[in-house]
Chain A
């Protein structure tokens, strides 16, 4: 990012779409902390960013990757702040450091495997004390939902990976409608209640849509979306465990190298004018 004075807006529009993503996530965080009662301390936010960005910088130096930047790292830090809750001050920065390191150390087929924010939540829930995820934190506010959709759509369209968001939502909604509404006899308001949840929309538009960690080929992305939806549904509604979507994506990630092998396609490049190429 360079300072372009009066041309700032124009430059942003043409530059890396992650900048938009970053602005949206930052505003979600602000809205969440101020109006939605997210139990998040300012110190946790500061430490997350400090640890995440320092780790990123260390690895960039270590691997001498000068052309890489910090945009993705910042987005990951926002993701962790939006999702992870802890009553300690050290879990957020520890998780942020680990997932940044994972991007440089776990690279089958020459690209990082795990969606960093997704891996962060899984690590936090599994290995760290006093750490949890509050899936109900967004409330079922319709306006929040609509706003997330609109914002997510914008990013998705620019990143040309909105397809996986749409596939995932269609698969997941179909499973819910067929099994729970048609077969079990739940009412439609139950469906709307579940699908107006900000956590689900945030996941669909900002997590699963990360172009670097999903299959490269269009067809493989359809398969991937279906696998995530089925795993998430089973986790959430058959086993009655929590955070089905997060765990669904995590387990489905292990199949991504296979999909990329079976359906070869070129790697995604951020359409950046900011000089960053990941």
Chain B
């Protein structure tokens, strides 16, 4: 309990002295870890929003249908085809990261850090298709072909009618869609509906669909997630990257929590960081009964410390919808772009309504960062300080094992086995105060 308060205080002090980072970035846990992960980039300033939807649809292209409630009839100019590479870049930039330090030689205090180490990213399962087959409406307000997509903008008066219209028009929509559509219709929202134009698609020469982007104005800062749940089978993962001008973004209708971060974990995790992070996230999600939104990253877009990837360039940011950057001059720490990465795992029951957001005026950086500390490779006999060092080291290893068990829910005994820790050999005796006297 007290440690939490102390920890808060410590981070405060550290952030105020803006201490430079001196560890090395070695691995990241990116979006490819999660099955059924949808990825969305939202760029927002005032009421202006640019939404980019990553398309990792893997089924038959002719069966693809996407339905998104939008606040107004979008013109062709408001719709754009994005570049999947940008998603990869923003994912890499904001991923939880593993860093490593090497203990100093206790016998000769001056420090030299070793060369940068790099570990290959553990291979993860390919993401499964995102659930995006949805239903549509009654008045066709507009029709466009943009890139490989045939797009219609619909408005509807009745949800039943919309559901029927969609089915009749050959869109594969799940049964029961009408009740989910009703609240949007009653609030006069329009529906952005896309399917794949197979002829145009073949011209792109790629079997993957490119991300769809659209720009619109609305006082609502929200993401309609409910439509995607109609035919969901298990929990779904959503990664939202939000680019704003001033501060951290959090959910205004669900609890937003920061994931446990900046913790020392055993060095063997270096080879299975992906498994570690998956287990950590799973544990946290379960602890909150799938009812919370998790912040994985919040930082100014101009810099990073340590960097999991280079910051996005002004040109890349512009492509993601950052319309308020003037020229390329505004780079570095003072860049007026902040990136928040939110990770949600939800079920229809645990997230009964769409995600709403608010931009806070919080500018304090946060990242998912896990630390490996390599032990000094010496012997206790080398000097007096070395003896103390090894005593401390044993305690530290115990603590790392406990931390790892708490974070991931893994068995403490298994962790200790992997760390080659014998079960507290003479923990008792080192703690006995009289040992220090004689």
Closest residue to B15 on the A side, CB-wise? Answer: A87
Closest residue to A241 on the B side, CB-wise? Answer: B219
Q: Are B9 and A33 in contact (CB under 8 A)?
A: no
Interface flag for A135 (CB, 8 Å): yes
Using an 8 Å CB-CB cutoff, how does the interface string of A131-144 with B read, 1 for contact, 0 for none? 11011111111000
Residues from chain A with a CB closer than 8 A to the CB of B364 are 87
Known contacts A34-B1, A34-B4, A184-B186, A130 near B361 by CB under 8 Å:
yes
Residues from chain A with a CB closer than 8 A to the CB of B179 are 185, 187
- Whole-angstrom CA separation of A226 from B404 in the bound complex: 52
Q: Are B252 and A136 in contact (CB under 8 A)?
A: yes
Q: Pick from A85, A132, A137, A183 the residue with the most CB of B within 10 Å.
A: A132
- Whole-angstrom CA separation of A131 from B246 in the bound complex: 12
Option from A42, A140, A186 in Cβ contact (under 8 Å) with B291: A140
Known contacts A85-B360, A189-B349, A136 near B254 by CB under 8 Å:
yes
Residues from chain A with a CB closer than 8 A to the CB of B293 are 136
Q: Are B250 and A136 in contact (CB under 8 A)?
A: yes
Residues from chain B with a CB closer than 8 A to the CB of A134 are 250, 256, 360
Q: Are B183 and A87 in contact (CB under 8 A)?
A: no
Residues from chain B with a CB closer than 8 A to the CB of A137 are 255
Option from A135, A136, A185 in Cβ contact (under 8 Å) with B186: A185
Q: Are A184 and B187 in contact (CB under 8 A)?
A: yes
In the complex, chain A residues 136-170 whose Cβ is within 8 Å of any chain B Cβ: 136-141
Residues from chain B with a CB closer than 8 A to the CB of A193 are 253, 352-353
Shortest Cβ gap from B8 to chain A (Å):
6
Residues from chain A with a CB closer than 8 A to the CB of B228 are none
Q: Are A41 and B8 in contact (CB under 8 A)?
A: yes
Residues from chain A with a CB closer than 8 A to the CB of B361 are 87, 129-132
Residues from chain B with a CB closer than 8 A to the CB of A239 are 219
Known contacts A134-B250, A138-B255, A242 near B358 by CB under 8 Å:
yes
Interface flag for A10 (CB, 8 Å): no
Interface flag for A272 (CB, 8 Å): no
Known contacts A34-B1, A242-B358, A42 near B251 by CB under 8 Å:
no
Residues from chain A with a CB closer than 8 A to the CB of B4 are 33-34
Interface flag for A194 (CB, 8 Å): yes
- Whole-angstrom CA separation of A131 from B256 in the bound complex: 17
Interface flag for A190 (CB, 8 Å): yes
Shortest Cβ gap from B189 to chain A (Å):
11
Residues from chain A with a CB closer than 8 A to the CB of B221 are 240
- Whole-angstrom CA separation of A185 from B179 in the bound complex: 7
Shortest Cβ gap from A112 to chain B (Å):
28
Option from B5, B247, B288, B362 in Cβ contact (under 8 Å) with A139: B288
- Whole-angstrom CA separation of A41 from B5 in the bound complex: 7
In the complex, chain B residues 201-259 whose Cβ is within 8 Å of any chain A Cβ: 219-221, 247, 250-258
Residues from chain A with a CB closer than 8 A to the CB of B358 are 132, 135, 242
Interface flag for A62 (CB, 8 Å): no
Interface flag for B78 (CB, 8 Å): no
Q: Pick from A36, A130, A138 the residue with the most CB of B within 10 Å.
A: A130
In the complex, chain B residues 370-400 whose Cβ is within 8 Å of any chain A Cβ: none
Option from A33, A43, A184, A194 in Cβ contact (under 8 Å) with B182: A184
- Whole-angstrom CA separation of A192 from B291 in the bound complex: 14
Closest residue to A242 on the B side, CB-wise? Answer: B358
With an 8 Å Cβ cutoff, the count of chain B residues facing the other chain is: 38
- Whole-angstrom CA separation of A129 from B247 in the bound complex: 11
Known contacts A42-B9, A184-B183, A240-B221, A130 near B256 by CB under 8 Å:
no
- Whole-angstrom CA separation of A137 from B363 in the bound complex: 18
- Whole-angstrom CA separation of A139 from B292 in the bound complex: 7
Shortest Cβ gap from A26 to chain B (Å):
15
Q: Are A139 and B291 in contact (CB under 8 A)?
A: yes
Residues from chain A with a CB closer than 8 A to the CB of B349 are 189
- Whole-angstrom CA separation of A187 from B186 in the bound complex: 14
Residues from chain A with a CB closer than 8 A to the CB of B182 are 184-185
- Whole-angstrom CA separation of A138 from B256 in the bound complex: 9
- Whole-angstrom CA separation of A184 from B184 in the bound complex: 8
Closest residue to A134 on the B side, CB-wise? Answer: B250
Q: Are A41 and B254 in contact (CB under 8 A)?
A: no
Shortest Cβ gap from A265 to chain B (Å):
38
Interface flag for B263 (CB, 8 Å): no
Residues from chain A with a CB closer than 8 A to the CB of B253 are 135-136, 193-194
- Whole-angstrom CA separation of A36 from B9 in the bound complex: 17
Shortest Cβ gap from A89 to chain B (Å):
8
Interface flag for B198 (CB, 8 Å): no
Residues from chain B with a CB closer than 8 A to the CB of A129 are 361
Closest residue to A140 on the B side, CB-wise? Answer: B291
Using an 8 Å CB-CB cutoff, how does the interface string of A182-202 with B read, 1 for contact, 0 for none? 011111011011100000000
- Whole-angstrom CA separation of A59 from B138 in the bound complex: 66
Q: Are B291 and A37 in contact (CB under 8 A)?
A: no
Using an 8 Å CB-CB cutoff, how does the interface string of A26-51 with B read, 1 for contact, 0 for none? 00000001101101111100000000
Known contacts A185-B182, A185-B183, A189-B349, A33 near B251 by CB under 8 Å:
no
Interface flag for B12 (CB, 8 Å): yes
Q: Are A42 and B288 in contact (CB under 8 A)?
A: no
Closest residue to A89 on the B side, CB-wise? Answer: B12
Shortest Cβ gap from A132 to chain B (Å):
4
Shortest Cβ gap from B135 to chain A (Å):
15
- Whole-angstrom CA separation of A34 from B253 in the bound complex: 21
- Whole-angstrom CA separation of A190 from B220 in the bound complex: 17
Known contacts A42-B5, A136-B254, A139-B292, A186 near B183 by CB under 8 Å:
yes
- Whole-angstrom CA separation of A192 from B182 in the bound complex: 19
Shortest Cβ gap from B12 to chain A (Å):
5
- Whole-angstrom CA separation of A187 from B183 in the bound complex: 9
Q: Are B255 and A139 in contact (CB under 8 A)?
A: yes
- Whole-angstrom CA separation of A137 from B293 in the bound complex: 11
Option from A41, A135, A139, A189 in Cβ contact (under 8 Å) with B12: A41
Residues from chain B with a CB closer than 8 A to the CB of A242 are 252, 358
Give me 20 A-to-B residue pairs in the complex whose CB atoms sit less than 8 angstroms apart, sorted by A's number. A33-B5, A34-B1, A34-B4, A34-B5, A37-B257, A39-B258, A41-B9, A43-B9, A87-B361, A132-B362, A134-B250, A136-B252, A136-B253, A140-B254, A183-B186, A184-B182, A185-B179, A187-B352, A190-B352, A240-B219
> Given contacts A134-B250, A136-B250, could you give 18 more A-B pairs where the C-beta distance is less than 8 Å?
A33-B4, A34-B4, A37-B258, A39-B8, A39-B258, A39-B362, A42-B9, A43-B9, A85-B360, A87-B364, A130-B362, A136-B251, A140-B254, A140-B291, A141-B291, A184-B182, A193-B253, A193-B353
**Nearest 3 CB-CB pairings of A with B:** A185-B182, A189-B352, A132-B360
